[in-house]
Structure 1
């Protein structure tokens, strides 16, 4: 499974990776911020809406309590020990018609005075439950008065509150609250009935006058039963309020959110509002955020496309440069106008130039190597033929008992066999020194003058690899061009930071001009014999194998001899720079 995922990811293009990474790096902070903002604003909106509903509900509760307190206050004036109560008690005892008429007139005047001084009080009358009659009403009654049909909101000792219900007053057609209290007159069963006035609860039960038309009200009695409902389909009257609890102040039922406030007397007023309207402000905010999010996505995609183009164009130029890297040497001068990419592009072009320079250098080295092979063949004078001939001469010397000729031919044969190896092929210091010794042994027999040879080799250098056939030409040059009678040749090989090879003679020496001409290879073709051929060969071998890492030095004074020094890196090998 892991390999499958890795394989699929490896097939995703660079363009798609850039876009995905850009979108992820952009959207993750935005989404996190959006989630945090959503919960924060959602909480703020909930608190704002709930606080607003609760505030309005408290205001309604205060309005209703004030109205009920007002009718309670008036009822106390008319039912307990006031002037009206005294007049009623006197009326009940009076039998004289004229006095009764006067008392009736005074009672009505007192009631009208109290009604006038309390504008939030509506219908006032006295009710006789035993006969079902009523008297002293300040307004005309609309229908027959049937108190047993009124919705009981709260019932306490001595007083009962009703409502809301349609007013019995013939002058108003609206919902009112009312109360009924027993009048404190001995030996008589009389009750005082009072309603709230026209304007007392107009804003409470007139939805068209509310700021929020979606809000509806319920009135619950002390037991939690609905005594009044503005939404009878969901919350019917005379039914228990769903999930009623005196401690709960808000909650959800069906598709409605409800909030409740309870009065000091125990009855409650409930505000209900549809959840969809409750969420209207939240949905409006979500719509705004969604629009912003879509715009943000479009902007992010646009920036991702710009980012891709900004990366793709330089990559396309890199691709062209790499394709033409080994096809043509022509340099392109196009730029991306982005400093970092232009720097890399210039590096690629610089690398291209170095590759072509190296290619030409390799061509030149191969050409020089071929020239050296030809020169070596000419220098060796067909060694295969010589070796075969020398073998024949050696065996003839052996048969004739001539040991000097046998020794001479054996040394020459070994030397030619060693020199026949491939030009530039690696050998060791030990084998190179052995070849030089064979060569010097031949030369001591050949020349008629005496010379001394001192070979001083550090034992630690014996196994170090060096190119074949670089010591003999230098020793030969010292012997041919520097040594005569009582001559001296010193070969010194030691290991320092590098391998140091020194060949010193006490011959005639050279001038500075001759040294410079020899090192710079300035001799013409007619002069390229003897020392010129040997030195030129060594220089070519060193350049071919070590490049600039090897060093050849010549120090000489006329009449005092010559010192030729070679400095080789210990690692050796073909130069690749």
Structure 2
């Protein structure tokens, strides 16, 4: 399993990638890497720019809302001061309340004057809406400039801030009977000397608060939450997430921005201590950045398609010439000639194809020349064979000589011809063909008989052959060259030759003599010079033939070794594995 996994992984390594894949990888890498770097740099740059732009826009809008709210509250404070006891209206209210009930006329006249002054105050302050005096103990109101809802109760209003005897509320639904818009309001204690439960209640105009909250420069959804000095939610445009009269999540006096669920929030603290929080959904916050990402993604996809298309064009430019080379090689392997010359229209590849075709023509010319010379050589061999002596004719002639010598009582001639005839019959057999140890020993005896008659001297030949080896296969014509080597290297009249054939795990052959011996240089020539047999006479072929025959039949399994000392004789040892001998064709 691990081997198959390694093989699968190796296919995807660079050394095993096809040319097509390498072109695509290199081309895409050279084009996409710079593009990716540019995209990353642009991403961080554009992201920083867009983030700063969005945050600055949100904070700027939030600051404007906070300033507008502070101005509105300051205006409510200013108007309430005019209507308090320190102002002219407050003093007249105290005088009217001080009059006895029987002075109804004076009270009515002063009440009319107060209403006129209140109308003048509200007229000179167009951002002021509903205004009246509230009597806490009686839970009544008076001197209202507009109709008041019956449900009015100051304790139910969302308190925004309270200090110096004045409480600010909002945003909340107006207490004007004919208005349901959001307003800001203030409730200030009048501090009358004669009565301690009198308050003046003032609301902003019904359009003012709405204009402040809608004064957004951020393009997405922008919601507002008002917090009092302790972080309590006084007003919320997202009551599902930031419920009214609850503490703002993770509220901290020093924290001005953060995240909550799927929203980003930014907080602006006023000089009075209350806060206004701008809530923006993350989807709207990231909308512009996401649009930029989509544009970059589409551009990257287009760039990738163009890069792949160019890589494909480049691959085609390489594939067509390679296909032409492949076709030329196949035709060359099939000994076929392409009649139509294909051009790639690329000078470099056309030049290579032209050079390849020229090389192919030269190779075919060489093949034709070699074939012609081989045919000539075969013809010469046949002609040579025609002039050679027919072996059957030669042996038949020797057989006739044998019978003539026998009829005339020539025993020596008869013995010579008979031995020569047997030796020729054996030696003229197919060289390298399988024989047996017995047949090889018999042929060696005939050879030794001829040599003794030919050179007219006696030498002792001792043969020790293990009975187990008589039928073992052995290559033909192996022993004669080895014995011949002993005869031609200083064997004297009192010399001897020992032939031993035995069987261990292999067939062991040893040829020993007491001749003149040989030097190491001579041994090297006998074993390694291919023309050493040309220096011999008679039927000897030489040790080089034996060595090549053993290498041909057994390879490295057969060995031939020579040990010799000058004046002491020579020993030749041959080791042959016991196996079926293959015929040499």
Q: What TM-score do you get using the length of structure 2 for normalisation? A: 0.58
- Which of 31, 47, 55 is the equivalent residue of 2:60? 55
Cα deviation for residue 271 of structure 1 reads 1.8
Q: What corresponds to 2:503 in structure 1?
A: none
Question: Which residue of 280, 304, 311 maps to 1:304?
Answer: 311
How far does the alpha carbon of each residue in 1:235-257 deviate from its partner, in whole angstroms, 9 at most, with x for none? 11110000112222222111222
Q: Distance in 2 between matches of 1:113 and 1:102?
A: 17
* CA deviation map 1:462-488 (0-9, x unaligned): xxxxxxxxxxxxxxxxxxxxxxxxxxx
- Secondary structure at the residue paired with 2:211? coil
1:194 to 202, 206, 216: 202
Q: State the match for 1:540 in structure 2.
A: none
Q: Give matches, 1:12-161, under 5 Å.
A: 12-79=17-84, 81-95=86-100, 96-161=103-168
Q: Map of 1:117-516 to 2, 5 A cutoff?
A: 117-189=124-196, 190-204=198-212, 214-325=221-332, 327=335, 333-356=341-364
Contact 1:178 1:193 in 2 (8 A): yes
Q: CA deviation at 1:137?
A: 1.3
Q: Which whole-Å CA distance do the structure 2 matches of 1:79 and 1:264 have between them? A: 23
Tell me the CA shift for residue 25 of structure 1. 3.4
Q: 1:145 to 1:371 in 2, by over 3 A?
A: closer
Cα pair 1:124 1:195 within 8 Å, conserved: yes
Q: Is the 8 A contact 2:57 2:218 kept in 1?
A: no
Q: Name the SS for the 1:119 alignment partner.
A: coil
Structure 1 residues not aligned, in runs of 5+: 374-577
Report the equivalent of 1:536.
none
* Cα deviation, residue 194, structure 1: 0.9
Q: CA deviation at 1:313?
A: 0.5
Instruction: Name which of 3, 7, 11 aligns with 1:8.
Output: 11
Relative to structure 1, is the Cα distance of residues 299 and 366 closer, same or farther in structure 2, using a 3 angstrom cutoff? same
Instruction: Give the Å deviation of 1:301.
Output: 2.7
Cα contact 1:178–1:196 (8 A) shared by 2: yes
Alpha-carbon distance, 1:367 to partner: 10
Q: Encode CA deviations 1:180-217: one digit per residue, 9 max, x unaligned.
A: 1122433432222111112211224579x998673222
Tell me: CA distance 1:108–1:334, structure 2 relative to 1, closer, same or farther (3 Å): same
Q: Return the alpha-carbon distance in structure 2 between the equivalents of residues 7 and 125 of structure 1.
A: 90
Secondary structure, in 3 states, of the residue corresponding to 2:209? coil
Alpha-carbon distance, 1:368 to partner: 11
* Secondary structure class of the residue paired with 1:228: strand
CA distance, structure 1, for counterparts of residue 337 and residue 246 of structure 2: 99
Asked whether the equivalents of residues 131 and 144 of structure 2 are also in contact (C-alpha less than 8 Å), the reply is yes
The offset of 1:349, in angstroms, is: 3.0
Residues 63 and 201, structure 1, Cα contact 8 Å, conserved in 2: no
- When structure 1 is superposed on structure 2, of 306-315 and 100-109 the one drifting more is 100-109
User: Does the 8 Å CA contact 1:329/1:356 hold for their aligned counterparts?
Assistant: no
CA contact (8 A) 2:83 2:90 kept: yes
In structure 2, how many angstroms separate the alpha carbons of the residues matched to 1:81 and 1:329? 121
**What is the alpha-carbon distance in structure 2 between the residues aligned to residue 330 and residue 102 of structure 1?**
127
The CA distance in 1 between the partners of 2:332 and 2:159, in whole Å, is: 101
RMSD: 4.3
Cα 1:7–1:239 change in 2 (3 A) is closer
Structure 1 45/254 Cα, relative in aligned 2: closer, same or farther at 3 Å?
same
Contact kept in structure 2, 1:75 and 1:194, CA below 8 Å: yes
Contact 1:121/1:194 (<8 A) preserved: yes
> How far apart are residue 364 of structure 1 and its match?
8.8
Q: 1:210 to 1:301 in 2, by over 3 A?
A: closer
Shift of 1:15: 2.3
Q: Is the 8 A contact 2:61 2:217 kept in 1?
A: no
Q: Cα 1:101–1:321, aligned 2, differ >3 Å: closer, same or farther?
A: same
Deviation of 1:296 after TM superposition, in Å, equals: 3.0
Q: 1:359-415: per-residue Cα shift (whole Å, max 9, x none)?
A: 677789989999999xxxxxxxxxxxxxxxxxxxxxxxxxxxxxxxxxxxxxxxxxx
1:170 and 1:292 mapped to 2: Cα distance? 59
Paired residue for 2:436?
Answer: none
Paired residues, number: 395
Equivalent pair of 2:263/2:280 in contact (CA under 8 Å)? yes
Distance 1:7 1:97, change over 3 A: closer
Gaps of 5+ in 2: 382-585
- When structure 1 is superposed on structure 2, of 39-48 and 3-12 the one drifting more is 3-12
CA distance in 1 between counterparts of 2:28 and 2:248 reads 52
Distance 1:328 1:231, change over 3 A: closer
Are the counterparts in 2 of residues 123 and 194 from structure 1 also a CA contact under 8 Å?
Answer: yes
